[in-house]
Amino acid sequence: MNPIFSALSTSVFEVMSQLARETGAVNLGQGFPDDPGPLDVRRKAADAVVDGWNQYPPMMGLPELRRATAAHYKRWQGLDLDPETEIMVTSGATEAIAGALMAILSPGDEVVLFEPMYDAYVPLVRRAGGIPKFVTLKPPQFGLSEEALAAAFSPRTKAVLFNNPLNPTATIFSRADLDLLADFCIRHDAIAICDEVWEHVVFDGHRHVPVLGRPDMRERTVKISSAGKIFSLTGWKVGLVMAAPPLMKVLAKAHQYITFTTPPNLQAAVAYGLGKEDGYFEGMRADFQRSRDRFAQGLTDLGFSVLPSVGTYFLNVDIAPLGESDDVNFCRRLVTEHGVAAIPVSAFYDQAAVKTVVRFCFAKRDATLDEALTRLAKRQ
Ligand code: GLN
Cα 17 to ligand 1 centroid, rounded to whole Å: 10
pLDDT of residue 3: 53
* Residue 5: per-residue pLDDT: 47
Could you tell me the distance, in angstroms and rounded to a whole number, from the CA of residue 146 to the centre of ligand 1?
A: 30
What was the pLDDT predicted at 46? 98
Domains and CATH numbers, the chain: 3-37+279-377 (3.90.1150.10), 40-275 (3.40.640.10)
* Residue list, ligand 1 pocket, CB within 6 Å: 11, 13, 30-31, 167
User: Would you tell me how many other CB atoms lie within 10 Å of the CB of residue 21?
Assistant: 11
Compute the distance from residue 19 Cα to the ligand 1 centre, in Å: 15
pLDDT mean for each 10 residues of the chain (380 residues): 55 90 95 95 98 96 98 98 98 98 98 96 96 95 94 98 97 95 98 98 96 98 97 97 98 97 98 98 97 98 96 97 94 95 95 94 97 91
Nearest CA to ligand 1 atom 1: 31
Can you tell me the ipTM of this complex? 0.92
Shortest-distance atom of ligand 1 to CA 94: 9
Question: Measuring from atom 7 of ligand 1, which residue has the nearest CA?
Answer: 13
Q: How far is the CA of 379 from the centre of ligand 1 (A)?
A: 26
Distance in Å, CA 213 to ligand 1 centroid:
27
